[in-house]
Chain A
Amino acid sequence: MADEMKVAGYICTGCGIGDRLDAGQLEMIATREGRIASCKQHEFLCSAEGVKMIKDDIDSGEATHLMIAACSRRAKTDAFSFGEIPMARANLREGVIWIRPEDPEQDETTQEMADDYIRMACNEVKQMNKPERSGEQELNKNILVVGGGVTGMTAAIEASKAGYPATIVEKSDHLGGALAGFSKKVPSKAPYAEPEDTGIAEMIAAIEADDTITVHLNSKLAKTSGAPGRFVAEIEGAGVTSEFGAIIQATGFTPYDANNLPELGYGKTPDVVTQLELEALVKDADGAIKRPSDGKEVESVVFVQCAGQRSTKENHLEYCSGFCCTTSIKQAMYFKEANGDINTTILFDDLRTPGAAGEDFYRAGQEAGVTFRKGKVSEVDGSLNVKFDDLILGMEDNIQPDLVVLATGMVPNSGVNIEAIAPKDDEEAEAGEQTENDDVVAVIDAESILNLDYRQGPDVPQLVNGFTDSHFICFPYETRRTGIYTAGPVRRPMDVEQAKSDAMGAAMKAIQAAENAALGRAAHPRSGDLSFPKFRLEGCTQCKRCTVECPFGAINEDEKGYPQFNEARCRRCGTCMGACPVRVISFENYNIMTVSEQIKNVDIPDEFDEKPRILVLACENDAYPALDMAAATGKIEYSAFARVIPVRCLGSVSTIWIQESLDSGFDGVVLMGCKKGADYQCHFVKGSEMAHYRMGKIGDTLETLSLEKERVAIYEVAITDIEKAPQYINDMAATIEEIGMSPFKF
C-alpha cells in the first residue's frame, strides 16, 4: 500500500443527521477546510452496504486514514471496526443533533457545531498513525510465585496445569505457610459439618511431582527488575537469577502480635494462646488436648473473638479478619471430638459465618454443643478468670476455663509501604499521594519483599489497612504494578478456601499479562491497545515529571535521569504525556498534536458575533459516556458553543492544550474527569488526581494572559452524572455571558 496518507471521509445522514444538518456543507468543509483526500455521504453508513463502501476504499488504497462523521465513537463499534487503521469519529448524533433542540432559531449554531466537529476530526486523524507492536519482549511463560503458603502453592500448581511453568520463592525452610501448622481446616465441601484435612501434604506432593514447578526454599528476592514478559529476579539464597513473564505475590500474613493484649491475659499465663498457637497444641497432642502450663487435660475452654480486632484502640486492628469466627468453631470442635463433655464457649460480638459454607458450619458447631455467647470481654487475668459483659443477659459474668484462646487477626505481609518511604518530591507531596493510606495499621514487615528496581519504590502500593487490594470492586486484581498480581491474605483478609480461589484468579491474570506482553498489548483497562508512549530524547529536560507521576511506576530513570519507558508496564493512560512540560511524549494514535490540531481548527467567530467557544476535555471512560447518555435521553441539552474532545484520562491532559485554546480565542475550558481520592473512580488510579493538581497551577497561565480564572473549570464527573455533566458546560456558558467574551479572538 502506498505510504502517502489518504484520509477518506464518510458522512452518515441517517438517524436524522441528514434532516437536521446540511450534509453537503459538511462534505464541503471536510474536503476544502479539512483538506482530506475524499469524502462521501451515506444515508445508513453502519449498514452492511455502508461498511462495505469503506472497506472497499481501504482495500483499493483509497483510504489509509478514516474520518467517520456519524454517531458517537461508543456506538456501532461492530460496524466501524477496521483493525488498526487510524480513525477519527466526528460525533454528529449524540454530540450534536441529540443535544440540540429542533428549532429553526438554533439551526445555525447547531450546524456550526457539526462543522467544527468535521474540521476537528479531519485534523485529528492526520496526526494519527497505525500503532505497531513495541516488540520489546517476547513470550516468557514462566510465572514467579513469591510465597510458598497455600496461596502460593495453589497459584503454582494451577498455573502449571494451564501449561505455564512456575517458580516458588519461599523465605522459610518449608512449604505450606501458616496452614502447615494447622491440625485441620474449616470444611470446603457440603454439608460443611466437620473440620477437614488441610491438604497441604497432597499439595507439596503434587509440587514435587511436577517438573514444571521449581521451588526455592530459604530464599527471597534481592532484586526484581524489568517488565511483564521480561521480569528479571535475583533470587537470594538460591543464588539464581531468572527471567519471568509475570509475578504473583502470595506472601500471606503475620499473626497479629498478641503481646499487645495484656488485658486479655496474653503473656500473663501460658494458658492464654492465640488460634495459631492452639493449632500447634492440637497437632502435638495425641488424644486429649493439654494446657501448656501444667499439662492438665483441658475440660473447659473459652474463645475470645475479635481479640485486638474491630477496634480503634491503639495498636489494634480496625478491620475484621473474617476467618476467625469459623476458625474458633472448628477449634471448639477439636475439643468436642476429643470429649463431648468439654465445655467450649465462644464469646463473640457479631458472629460472622457468611455464605452457605459459613452458616452450615455455624449450625454444625451448635449441633456439636458449642456454646455461643454474645459477650464483650473486659479482662482475662493470670488465673484465667474471663470477665465479660453478656450483652444478651445484660449482666457482668465470668468463666474460669482451663484454656483461653484469643482470635487475633491477620496482618498482611505487604512489604514496604512505598508511600511512606517514597522520595518525597515536593510536587508529589502536594498532590496528596495516597490519601487513603492514612490509616495504615502496624506495618509488620518493613523489609521489602519484591525489591522492585522501580523509580517509585520496591513494593506494590498498599491500600486500606496496609493490604495490597486494588480497591476496584469490578476489577479486584488490578494492582498498580502491571504484571504483578497479589493474592491471598496479603491482598485482603481471607480464609483458606478464598485464598485458594484468589490464587487461581491471580494465576489467570499473570498468564494473561505474560501473553499480552509478548504481543505488545496493553493490560487492563485498555486491554489490547498496541500504542505505547514514545519520547524524543533531544527535547527531554530530565525533569522527572513523567517518572514521578506515572500511576503504574512504569517509567524508570537512567543514570542520566532520562526516562526509561517500559512498555509492558504501561497502561497507556497518557498521564506521562500530560505531565511532560516539553511535550516530548506521544502515542502513535494519541498525542499532543491529535488534540492540539482539533483545538486549532475550531472556527472562532469574532468577538462581536456573541458566539463564544467552550473547550470540553472529557474523560472517555466516564464523562464522555455520561454526555452520550444525556443525549440519548432526548430531553437534555447543552450549549451549542461547546466543543467536546474525549481524552484517555484527565491525567493525559497537557496544560498546553488549555493555553493554546485560550490563546486561540476560546472563552472557556471545562475539564471532566473521574473521582479522585480515597474512593477514587479513576481507572488509572492517579490520573484524575494529577490533572486536578496541575490545573491548580493553571491560574498562573491565566494571569499571564490576564484572563479570569473562572474561564477554566475542572470537575469530577461520574458516568451516571447525565444531568450534571451537561450542566457544567451550561454553567460555563453562563459564566462567559457574565464575564464577557475572551479578548483573544483574532
Chain B
Amino acid sequence: MVDVVATNETIIVVGGGISGMTAALEAAEVGKQVILLEKRPYLGGRVSQLYKYFPKMCHPVCGQEINQRRIKGNNNLTILTMAEVTEITGDTGDYTVNVKISPRYVTSDCTACGECEKVVETEFDDEFNYNLGKRKGAYIPNKMAFPQTYVIDPAIIGTDEADKAKEACKYGAIDLDMGEETLELKAGSIIWSTGWKPYDANKIQPYGYDRFENVITNVEFERLMDPHGPTGGKLLRPSDGAEAKNIAFIQCAGSRDINHLKHCSRFCCMASLKQTRYVAEKYGDDAKSTIYYIDIRSIDRFENFYNDVKSNENVEFIKSKVASIEQDENKNPVLRGVNTEGAVRYANTHDLVVLAVGMEPSVDVSEFPVKLVLNEEGFIQNDEANGGIFAGGTSADAYDVNRAVQHATAAALRAVQVVNNISK
C-alpha cells in the first residue's frame, strides 16, 4: 500500500522523463515537498532510449546517474512509478489529483538479483527497444532502470510462469496479488511534463514504413546503434540482417506538413547529423550517409557541428523532400524526388532509410485530465487560464534535451512561486 503525504504546499510533477526529473529535483533541492509521478515502471523517459546526445556525443545515462543520485539523496522527493493521473480538480494552490497506480507485482524488497528473470520463459516485445528486441515476462526495463526493481508483465499473471517467478525470489519480493491502487493527492501546483512521442511513421504513406522492412525511424536507429541495444550496437538492416552502409536520412518525416504535424520538431536535424556521426564512427570511409532536407536547422553552436558533418565527404546533403519510396528486388529502398537546388531528378538506391520523425505531445489533447490552454499542435500554452498547472519540457513545444531541461527548470520556479505564496 502506497502512503504519501501531500498538502496544498506540495508540488506534483507528472512525468518522469528528463524534464520531469529536472523540475522535481530543482524544486525539491530548494526545500519543497515534491511528488513525481511516472507512468512507466522506471524514470528517464525517452532520453534513456537514446544512444548519444548531440553536440557532445556523450551518453544520456551519464546525466541520469547524477540525477538518480540527486534523487537518492533527497528526502523532499517522493517517486511513484506506474502511476497515471486520472483526474485533476480544484484550482491554483488547492488541487486534488487522482492517481491510478498499476501493479508492478514486485515490492521494494527486490534486490534486482535477477533470479525471477532466469526462470521465466515467456518473451514479449521489448518496448524499451521500440519492439526491436524481446524481453522476459519478468524483467528490469533497462540497465539503468530506476528504481532498480523488477517488473512482472501483467500478461503472465495467473499463469504458472508467474508462480515460477515467485518461487525463484528468495526475498518474497514478488506479490502476485498486488492490485491496482488509486490515490487522491493534494497539491498546490502541478508541473505537466509528460513529454513527447515519435510521430507514427505508418501515417507517412509515401515512405512505406508500413510496407518496407528497411525503412525505419530515427528513434529506432538510436537503439540499433546502442551497444546495449537489440543488435548489440551493430547496424543491421531489418530485412536480411546485413550491415547497412548506404543510409538515407529523410528530414521532416511528418513534420512541417499540414497532412501530419504542422510544426517543426526542432531536434530532428541535429539528431540526423548526429546519426551520420555514428555511421562515420562505425565505418569510416566504408559507409555513406545522405541527408534529404528542406532546411537544416542547426541553431547557435550546433552550426559548428553541422559544419563538421558537412566537411565529411561521406555525408551528402540533398535539398529535397523525398516524393516516394519504392523497394527493389533486394528490398533496397529506392528514393525518388527532385533536388530543388538545380532541379536534379533522382532515383537513389540505399540499403537503409531512416525517417527523421518528429515529436508530438505524448498526451492526446482529448485525454488531458484537466482543461488546459493548448495550441493547435497540442502543446500546452503558457497561459494564466491554466492556473497553477505549468508545462515543463516538451509538453510545451518541440525541444531538444538542453532546451527541455532549461524549460523544466523555469517551470519549477513557476510552481515554487505558487506554493511559496501559500506558505507565506
A interface residue numbers (CB < 8 A to B): 14-16, 44, 46-47, 71, 75-78, 81, 158, 161-163, 188-192, 310, 312, 318-322, 350-360, 374, 391-392, 394, 439, 464-465, 467, 469, 471-477, 492-494, 498, 501-505, 507-509, 511-512, 515-516, 524-525, 527-528, 621-622, 625, 629, 632-634, 674-675, 679, 681, 683, 718-720, 722-723
Are the C-beta atoms of A507 and B413 separated by less than 8 Å? yes
Are the C-beta atoms of B377 and A356 separated by less than 8 Å? yes
Are the C-beta atoms of A354 and B58 separated by less than 8 Å? no
Are the C-beta atoms of B307 and A318 separated by less than 8 Å? yes
Option from A352, A633, A720 in Cβ contact (under 8 Å) with B295:
A352
Given A320-B302, A679-B55, 4 new contacts (CB under 8 A)? A319-B303, A474-B64, A527-B74, A622-B62
Are the C-beta atoms of B343 and A681 separated by less than 8 Å? no
Give every chain A residue within 8 A of B59 (Cβ-Cβ).
681, 718-720
Give every chain B residue within 8 A of A189 (Cβ-Cβ).
381, 383
Are the C-beta atoms of A322 and B413 separated by less than 8 Å? no
- The answer to whether residues A352 and B56 also contact, given A474-B66, A501-B406, A621-B66 and a CB cut-off of 8 A, is no
Q: How large is the interface on B (under 10, 10 to 19, 20 to 34, 35 or more residues)?
A: 35 or more
Task: With CB as the reference atom, state the residue of chain A lying closest to B410.
Answer: A504
- The answer to whether residues A679 and B58 also contact, given A320-B299, A354-B264, A502-B410 and a CB cut-off of 8 A, is yes
- The answer to whether residues A46 and B62 also contact, given A356-B397, A512-B29 and a CB cut-off of 8 A, is no
Are the C-beta atoms of B111 and A528 separated by less than 8 Å? no
Option from A356, A472, A477, A718 in Cβ contact (under 8 Å) with B409:
A477
Are the C-beta atoms of B62 and A718 separated by less than 8 Å? yes
Option from B263, B341, B343 in Cβ contact (under 8 Å) with A359:
B263
Task: With CB as the reference atom, state the residue of chain A lying closest to B396.
Answer: A501
Give every chain B residue within 8 A of A718 (Cβ-Cβ).
58-59, 62
CA distance A46 to B62 in the complex (A): 26
- The answer to whether residues A525 and B66 also contact, given A319-B303, A502-B410 and a CB cut-off of 8 A, is yes
CA distance A189 to B383 in the complex (A): 9
Give every chain A residue within 8 A of B375 (Cβ-Cβ).
190-192, 356
CB distance from B396 to the nearest CB of A (A): 9
CA distance A465 to B301 in the complex (A): 7
Are the C-beta atoms of B416 and A162 separated by less than 8 Å? yes
Are the C-beta atoms of A511 and B409 separated by less than 8 Å? no
CB distance from B273 to the nearest CB of A (A): 13
Q: Convert B12-55 into 0s and 1s, putting 1 for each residue whose CB lies closer than 8 angstroms to a CB of A.
A: 00000010000001100111000000000000000000000101
Are the C-beta atoms of A161 and B56 separated by less than 8 Å? no
CA distance A158 to B421 in the complex (A): 13
Residue B241 lies at the interface, judged by CB distance under 8 Å to chain A: no
CA distance A46 to B144 in the complex (A): 20
8 Å CB interface, B64-111 against A: 64-67, 69-70, 72-74, 108-109, 111
CA distance A621 to B67 in the complex (A): 11
Are the C-beta atoms of A625 and B65 separated by less than 8 Å? yes
Give every chain A residue within 8 A of B157 (Cβ-Cβ).
none
Are the C-beta atoms of B299 and A493 separated by less than 8 Å? yes
Interface of B is mostly: loop
Are the C-beta atoms of B301 and A464 separated by less than 8 Å? yes
Task: With CB as the reference atom, state the residue of chain A lying closest to B171.
Answer: A44
Q: Convert B303-341 into 0s and 1s, putting 1 for each residue whose CB lies closer than 8 angstroms to a CB of A.
A: 110010000000000010000000000000000000011
CB distance from B278 to the nearest CB of A (A): 13
CB distance from A356 to the nearest CB of B (A): 4
CA distance A632 to B117 in the complex (A): 13
Are the C-beta atoms of B301 and A492 separated by less than 8 Å? yes
Option from A320, A359, A504, A524 in Cβ contact (under 8 Å) with B413:
A504
Give every chain B residue within 8 A of A354 (Cβ-Cβ).
264, 266, 297, 299, 398
CB distance from B417 to the nearest CB of A (A): 5
For the complex of A and B, list the 4 residue pairs with the smallest distance between their C-beta atoms, beginning with the closest: A474-B63, A504-B410, A190-B375, A505-B409
CA distance A162 to B413 in the complex (A): 8
Are the C-beta atoms of B65 and A621 separated by less than 8 Å? yes
Interface of A is mostly: loop
CB distance from B194 to the nearest CB of A (A): 16
B interface residue numbers (CB < 8 A to A): 18, 25-26, 29-31, 53, 55-67, 69-70, 72-74, 108-109, 111-114, 143-144, 148, 170-171, 227-228, 256, 262-264, 266, 295-304, 307, 319, 340-343, 375-377, 379, 381-383, 397-399, 401-403, 405-407, 409-410, 412-414, 416-417, 420-421, 424
Option from A356, A473, A507, A527 in Cβ contact (under 8 Å) with B379:
A356
Are the C-beta atoms of A493 and B30 separated by less than 8 Å? no
CB distance from A227 to the nearest CB of B (A): 18
CA distance A502 to B382 in the complex (A): 14
Give every chain A residue within 8 A of B25 (Cβ-Cβ).
527
Are the C-beta atoms of A355 and B424 separated by less than 8 Å? no
Are the C-beta atoms of A394 and B413 separated by less than 8 Å? no
Give every chain A residue within 8 A of B144 (Cβ-Cβ).
629
Are the C-beta atoms of B295 and A351 separated by less than 8 Å? yes
CB distance from A33 to the nearest CB of B (A): 28
Are the C-beta atoms of B72 and A508 separated by less than 8 Å? no
Option from A310, A504, A507, A720 in Cβ contact (under 8 Å) with B228:
A720
What are 5 A-to-B residue pairs whose CB atoms are below 8 Å?
Answer: A352-B299, A358-B264, A360-B262, A473-B63, A625-B65
Are the C-beta atoms of B303 and A318 separated by less than 8 Å? yes
Option from A391, A493, A679 in Cβ contact (under 8 Å) with B57:
A679
Give every chain A residue within 8 A of B300 (Cβ-Cβ).
319-322, 465, 467, 492-494
Give every chain B residue within 8 A of A516 (Cβ-Cβ).
29-30
CA distance A477 to B413 in the complex (A): 14
CA distance A622 to B144 in the complex (A): 12
Option from A15, A464, A525, A720 in Cβ contact (under 8 Å) with B113:
A15
CA distance A675 to B53 in the complex (A): 14
Are the C-beta atoms of A527 and B62 separated by less than 8 Å? no
Give every chain A residue within 8 A of B29 (Cβ-Cβ).
512, 516, 527-528
CB distance from A422 to the nearest CB of B (A): 23
Option from B301, B302, B397, B406 in Cβ contact (under 8 Å) with A502:
B406
